[in-house]
Amino acid sequence: MGAGITNFGRREASWKDLVVEAGKALFDDVPNLDKKDVDSFFIGAAQPERWTYQTHVAPLAAELLGIKPRRVVARTESACASGQIAIRYAWLAVASGLSDVAVVVGVEKMNTKFMNLSQTSMMNVGNREFDTAMGLTAPPYFAMVAQRHMHLYGTTEDQMALVREKAGEYASANPYAQFQKKISKEDVLNSRMVAPPLKLLDCSGITDGAAALLITTEEKARKFTDTPVWILGGIQRTMANSINEMGEMSDWLSLRYLAKDVYDLFNITPDDIDVAEVHDCFTISEIMEYEELGFCKKGEGGKFIEEGQSYIGGKVAVNPSGGLLANGHPLGATGVRQAWEMVMQFRGEVPDKRYVSGAELGLAHNLSGMAQFHHIMLYSLNRPREVKFGR
C-alpha cells in the first residue's frame, strides 16, 4: 500500500490539478511502480458535476495520471464516504483476483466563485423533498442531535469544544491540514453561532483536496515496499434514509450495529483499536462515534473526551491527523485521506507530536448524509488472517 496527499484548504488549484497532485504524490511514494502495471482505477468524487461541471470523471482522471487501466475503471459516489467506498471496491477487486494493481483517488473541489452553489449542492445528500428543502441540512440536523444528546445525557458545550481543541492540537503538526492553528476551548465557545448549540468552530470546513492510494496483492506489495500496510477489510450499513425514519436522534443504530458486526467478523473488540480516524464533521459527531463504536458506554462520550481518553496516550487515539474539523472535509477525499493517515502512522512517518507509537490496528469510519449510512474500514500493520464473508 502506497499513499499520496495534497494540501487541503481553499485552493486555487482546479479539480484536475488536485487529481494530478495526489497522483504524483502517490507515484513519488512508490517510485518503482510502473504505470503500465496499474490495471484498475477507482475515483471517489461526490459532486464534480455541480462543483466543476464535469462528469465521466474516472477515465478522465486516469488519463491525467498517465495510466491505462484495463480491468476496472469506476467512479464511486456516496456523499461524504465516496472515497472510502472507492477503497473498499479496490480492495474487493484485488482480493477477488480481478485486479492485481489498483490506484484509488479521492478528490473534491468545493470552493468555487459561487459559494451559494457549494451550499445548495450540499442539500443533495438528504431527501430533498422531505428533509433538506424543509431546512434539515447538515448543521441544523447535527445541532438537533447535539441538543438531544445534551438533554438525555448531560453532554455540554464545553465537552464538544474539547473535541475541536484536540483537533487543532494535532493539526498544528499536520502540514497538509486546512486549519493548522491551535484552537482553545474558549475560541470554540466564543465563535459565531451557526445552529444552536453548534458554533462555527464546531463545524468542519468547505474544502478542496485529494488523496491517493495504491492497493495491490501481497506478492506485488513486497516488491514495492518493506513496510506494507494491510487492509483487513470493511463493511457498510444503513437502516433508513429520511429523517423521520431514523428514530431517536441520539442513537445512531446503523453505526452501533455496524461496529458490532465488524468486531465480530474480525474477532476483535473496541479495546484492540489503537488509532481511529472517525467522521467528525461536527464536534457532536465525534462524541457520538466514541459511543457507537464502543470506545465508551452510551451517554459517556462527553466524559470520554473530558478525561483525555481519545487523546494519544488515552484509551484510543482518535483523529491524530486533526480529523475533518481541522483538515477540512472535501467529500470524496476524506476517506482516502484517513487511509493515508493510517499508512503514515504505521510507517512512523508523522511528526512525533501526533504519532501513535506502537499502533498496530487502525479503524477508519465515515458517515454519509445525515448519519443514515455508515462505513468502516480496518487497517493493520500485521498480515491479516483469512476472513470468510457471508457466514
**pLDDT tens-digit series, residues 60-77:** 999 999 999 999 999 999
pLDDT, average across residues 160-165: 98
Q: Which domains are present in the chain?
A: 2-380 (3.40.47.10)
Reported as a pLDDT band with limits 50, 70 and 90, residue 384 is: confident
pLDDT of residue 328: 98
Reported as a pLDDT band with limits 50, 70 and 90, residue 388 is: low
The number of angstroms, rounded, from the C-alpha of 64 to the middle of its chain's C-alpha atoms is 24
Grid cell for residue 137: 441540512
Catalytic residue among 80, 203, 281, 296: 80
Please state, in angstroms and rounded to a whole number, the distance separating the CA atoms of residues 255 and 272.
18
- Contact predicate 79/368, CB 8 Å: yes
Angle between helices 331-347 and 82-96 (to 10 degrees): 60
**pLDDT tens-digit series, residues 284-343:** 999 999 999 999 999 999 999 999 999 999 999 999 999 999 999 999 999 999 999 999
Mean pLDDT rounded to a whole number for the chain: 94
Cβ contacts of residue 386 below 8 Å, gap of 6+?
A: none
Helix (H), strand (E), coil (C) string for the chain: CEEEECCCECCCCCHHHHHHHHHHHHHHHCCCCCHHHCCEEEEECCCHHHHCCCCCHHHHHHHHHCCCCCCEEEEECCHHHHHHHHHHHHHHHHHHCCCCEEEEEEEEECCCCCHHHHHHHHHHHCCCCCCHHHCCCHHHHHHHHHHHHHHHHCCCHHHHHHHHHHHHHHHCCCCCCCCCCCCCHHHHHCCCEEECCEEHHHECCCCEEEEEEEEECHHHHHHHCCCCCEEEEEEEEECCCCHHHCCCCCCCHHHHHHHHHHHHHCCCCHHHCCEEECCCCEHHHHHHHHHHCCCCCCCCHHHHHHCCCCCCCCCCEECCCCHHHHHCCCHHHHHHHHHHHHHHHHHCCCCHHHCCCCCCEEEEEEEECCCCEEEEEEEECCCCCCCCCCC
Please state, in angstroms and rounded to a whole number, the distance separating the CA atoms of residues 390 and 71.
25
pLDDT, average across residues 361-365: 98
Mark whether 80 is an active-site residue. yes
Catalytic residue among 203, 279, 281, 329: 329
Q: Which comes out higher in pLDDT, residue 133 or 232?
A: 232
**pLDDT tens-digit series, residues 103-139:** 999 999 999 887 777 777 777 787 878 887 778 889 9
